[in-house]
Chains A and B, each alone.
Chain A
Amino acid sequence: MLGSLIFLGGSAVYALYWAASHGQFKKMDQGAKIIFDSGEPVGKVTDQFPGVDMKKKEEQRLAKRKMKKA
């Protein structure tokens, strides 16, 4: 049990040390963008219901809202 605890605690400390020494805590705003690429860049929605034209629907919705306000 004691060995197991030391092993777990030690590995957590090592993970933190590894992250710090490998620059994982530097330029974090850039890090947040690594899930995007040139094909799926920031600003592009990548999921929608099948057969739905989101852009068209959104335009219709906003037009309706404008009409109501008017």
Chain B
Amino acid sequence: MSQNLKNMPVEANDALERAQVDASCRVPVLLFFATAIFWLVVGTVFGLIASLKLHDPYFIIELPSWFAFYLEKFSPAGTVEMINSSLTFGRIRPAHLNTVAYGWGSPAGLGVAIWLMARLCRVPLRYPTLVSAAGVLWNIGMVVGIGALLSGGSTSIEWLEFPPYVTFILFISFALISIWAVDMFVHRKPGHVYVSLWYIMAALFWFPWLYGTANILIQLAPAQGSVQGIINWWYGHNALGLWFTPLGLAAAYYMIPKVIGRPVYSYYLSAFGFWALALFYSWNGGHHLIGGPLPAWLITTSIVASVMMVIPVVVTAINHHMTMKGNFNVLRYSPTLRFVVFGAMSYTLASLQGSSMAFRELNAITHFTHYTIGHSHLGLYAFYTMIMFGSIYYIVPRLLGREWVSALLIKVHFWTCAYGIVTMVLLLSVGGAIQGWMLQHPENPLNKFSDIVEATKPWLRGRSISGCLIMVGHLAFAYHFALMLLKFGRSEGGPTLLAQPESNTDSAGSHS
């Protein structure tokens, strides 16, 4: 093979190298993507039910009587009661969070990270069976975990609801991937370590450390009193900032330049942004506990660090914008770029909003309201999930050697999700601000607690409608992905994959 490579023209040699790397990733990465999309659809159903229950508490409180009648006949005693209780808001809501965070977000990010690792290390995937086994183990953990949450086994600690035996399964799975990542890094081809690889290696190192430490200090050897709150939000916020954020940024730093064919505007800024994120983000969690029974210095440190996060965020925003400058026309033609640029813009918005919410004055209004839920959806969906969608649109054709089947399905996916999430965030922000303002003024006779609940209802109804839009997008995406797995896409047959335009008239990369 090496003799063949030597005799080939450089262009064909590079294309073959890329094709070999992609082929080596096929099974594990598709496994991660397929299961992630399954959990995405399940998680969206949970989210929609939870959302509807917030303004219509009697929505699906029990199974239909005819169904319950037959189920009682053919299933063990108590099954109907168990299912009925699993439909309550208190179980469906954590099931939604854990399904989208650990079922969709993490495996989708891992799939993208595995492919990027192989591409950026420029070596075929090492130990693909080990990576696939980790993916299977992760999904076993997910099935057991979601089953536990729905049957009342939640620990009731936000972001750490899975019982310890599920946590253990997920940790082992993740540890396998982290060990594999170190092995890949050690065996990479010599040369520069691209910024995306820095982000991925950091995320794969940070997450098991965070997850392990938080679970030990909360579940196995629980810290006492309010210290548990600190650990809870140290983990909860860092799961977003030191796990999902680096994976999202790693994908954005690869996809934007790669799609438009232009290097990152300032590579210095990208490296600076990485180290600034590493330095400031881990201190942010305490701003979730403003007003709580904790030392003032601890909260203040978190607020300062939250504001310091403006530095890496603005650096990243400038870098992405300047890289795109003069290339915005490509957004018309590239599905990947549409999703990724939407996600990158949302990253800036979500992060700046997050920094502002850390101020005590604003936090007093927004804390414990739907405003915070809007913010978390802006971060985890509009930023992270949209970038993952874009990356999957880029990676899957290269793994399967086939084009996506339908441009229409991609457009339906993009526009329903984009309109859905923008509407959702706006409605929750306005509704949450009204809710927070009313809660701050209990002296007003119109602000009885029941009045406040009533005042949020129109906004919550709107949120459910936006959730339906997102559901349509997810179904289109899942259907399209299934078509790809069933080999409906047009095959190009060559190692370079995909029909590629000769060049983009506006993307000569002349900014230097």
Residues of A that sit less than 8 Å from B by CB? 1, 4, 7-8, 11-12, 15-16, 19, 24-25, 27-55, 57-59, 61-62
Contact = CB atoms under 8 A, between A and B. Distances in A.
B18 interface: yes
B14 A43 contact: no
Contact of B267 (A31, A40, A46, A50): A31
Contacts of A37: 14, 17-18
B18 A42 contact: no
B193 interface: yes
Specify the main secondary structure of chain A where it touches its partner: loop
Contact of B501 (A16, A34, A41, A48): A48
Given A11-B205, A33-B263, A59-B505, 5 more contacts: A35-B263, A36-B263, A42-B262, A43-B504, A46-B500
Contact of B329 (A41, A46, A58): A58
Interface in B295-337: 329-330, 332-337
A19 B504 CA distance: 35
Nearest to A28: B267
Contacts of A24: 192-193
B214 to A, nearest CB: 11
B335 A39 contact: no
Contacts of A49: 333-335, 404, 407, 410-411
Interface residues of B, number: 66
Contacts of A62: 505
Interface centre among A4, A24, A48, A59 (most CB of B within 10 A): A48
Interface stretch (B166-174, B252-260, B344-352): B252-260
Contact of A38 (B10, B193, B405): B10
Given A1-B217, A46-B500, A47-B336, A32 B264 contact: yes
B508 interface: yes
A32 to B, nearest CB: 4
A35 B261 contact: no
Contacts of A27: 192
A4 B263 CA distance: 38
A48 B503 CA distance: 12
Nearest to A44: B261
A32 B500 CA distance: 22
A45 B13 CA distance: 20
Interface in B346-386: none
Contact of A32 (B11, B267, B406): B267
Nearest to A52: B333
Nearest to A59: B505
A52 B332 CA distance: 10
B179 interface: no
